[in-house]
Structure 1
């Protein structure tokens, strides 16, 4: 069972689903017509290419200190997977740029933002930031594949396939940065908790202004934006089932246990369903639809 193994004991298979084409036939509000949810994930997508580059660089600083062949291979697979994520989200973000979203300006800001962190933070703190970010994305990935029918119900099949594929690979390599942080960089409990609190605030501080920019580009009036934000913030933060952060909270909060181990947290049924579907079809789009059907049936 995958949950009992570290990623360095597993074979990760980097996949770049070239069959996914993000043309303008995808509805602007692809998440079943939900304006806020569609644009929240779109805003998140714009942060990923530069974020993935930072993650790769932070791990590469420890490349020569990786002693075990298993961890060396896990590092190589991590780099290939994260590179593939950046490429596909760049392709997706090109669609947003055609809609008027100022993706080049967002990229330029994020380059400066991550360059600042590279200058200010030591390599140990950079890998800690990366490990925290990877835990957050793994929490989102587990929630997405565990609650797929709730998060992606009625979504455009191409966007759903993108996020299911990305989530599966985030789960596959979710312990790599953590293992390097803990076992190679020797970062202790207090620094990793402090960095998690920092990046938890940082996530919304980056995504929310981009989301507001996108809503303005859409031509939403001030009153419409106020309504979308009111409804959207309730979806994000409501303390009952269906609240985005509430549903991933269990996995996220596991980080704060002193003896936290990445593979001790997170259900794998959704990931296993996606992997079976991908191996059967060899196509991320078909795998996404088959996985969605299985998750919806189990919901």
Structure 2
């Protein structure tokens, strides 16, 4: 019985990338804009521990999956997320070297991750599906709207687009495991509410922490520009809202948004090879 719903032409396997971005992170790397730089840096701060939790949650159910295709994709998912975690650890260490209090930010998020890690396995996996939905929607947006990264340094742009490509490739893996092993639609939606609160909470808190160190926490101009970026024009979060909310639909599945052409287009532009099984 085939459980995997990853479509033809998409494979889930890690690319062994490394990005030398320490010098970029000494600057306002996103178009010399304080808020945009802080926002993307704030997202990065959640990835090492968050993606390790995704790996842990899927591993709890790995032995219950007998579909060879999905089992192979689970291995690829773990490999991709492990490499994302590694690269974002390097990213975050460079932020620490710049003078940000990354230890305090990490401690705040790790307390939350420790709490998540003590939840029942079904809730951990449901939470992973919800969080993976946020990363998949943001990944789609980054790939579909390259102008949102306009002004970013070349290496930083490549890192975020590489991450977005692989988040898109594996966006249904945890979901397929959940659908096969748990299958509780009510739990899936309820847990997504908690994931939504925590995603926005920690992104906001991290952004504020970084802006405080930059001396811009109380800068009206910085916040006006940031609110415009997120909710006005181009409206990064505003334009993502319909896709975020699609998760509540009955019968929702990540590949209902079939964006295979974006994977191929961005792989070609970045001169990256398709992942091989």
Give the TM-score of the pair, scaled to structure 1. Answer: 0.84
Matched residues, number:
270
CA drift at 1:66: 0.8
Give ranges in structure 1 of 5+ residues lacking alignment: 284-299
CA contact (8 A) 2:129 2:175 kept: yes
Aligned counterparts of 2:216 and 2:36: Cα–Cα separation in 1: 15
- Partner residue in 1 for 2:130: 132
Matches of residues 201-280 of structure 1 in structure 2 within 5 Å?
A: 201-220=197-216, 222=218, 224=219, 226-238=220-232, 242-278=234-270, 280=271
- Counterparts of 1:103-122 in structure 2 under 5 Å? 103-119=102-118, 121-122=119-120
1:288 aligned residue: none
How far has the Cα of 1:171 moved from its partner?
0.2
Question: Aligned equivalents of 1:270 and 1:8: distance in 2?
Answer: 14
Q: Does residue 42 of the first structure (1) align with residue 44 of the second (2)?
A: no
Question: CA 1:158/1:28 → structure 2, altered by over 3 Å: closer, same or farther?
Answer: same
Are 2:13 and 2:73, in contact at CA under 8 Å, matched by a contact in 1? no
Q: Which moved more, 1:89-98 or 1:212-221?
A: 212-221
Q: How many angstroms does 1:25 deviate by?
A: 4.5
8 Å contact kept, 1:43–1:207: yes
Unaligned runs of 5+ in 2: none
Quote the RMSD (CA, aligned, Å): 2.0
What secondary structure is seen at the aligned counterpart in 2 of 1:13?
coil
Q: CA deviation at 1:106?
A: 2.2
* 1:83-138 deviation per Cα after TM superposition (whole angstroms, max 9, x unaligned): 0000001111111101111222222232221111222x211011000000001100
- Kindly indicate whether the alpha-carbon contact (under 8 Å) linking 2:49 and 2:110 is maintained by their aligned counterparts in 1: yes
* C-alpha displacement of 1:21: 0.1
Per the alignment, residue 13 of structure 1 pairs with: 13
Give the conservation status (yes or no) of the 8 Å contact 2:25–2:95.
no
- Residue aligning to 2:146: 148
Greater CA drift, 95-104 or 133-142: 95-104
Alpha-carbon offset, residue 217 of structure 1: 1.1
- 1:45 and 1:201 mapped to 2: Cα distance? 18
Q: Does the 8 A contact of 1:146 with 1:269 survive in 2?
A: no
* CA contact 2:109–2:202 (8 Å) conserved in 1: no
* Corresponding residue of 2:88: 89
Distance 1:221 1:62 in 2: 43
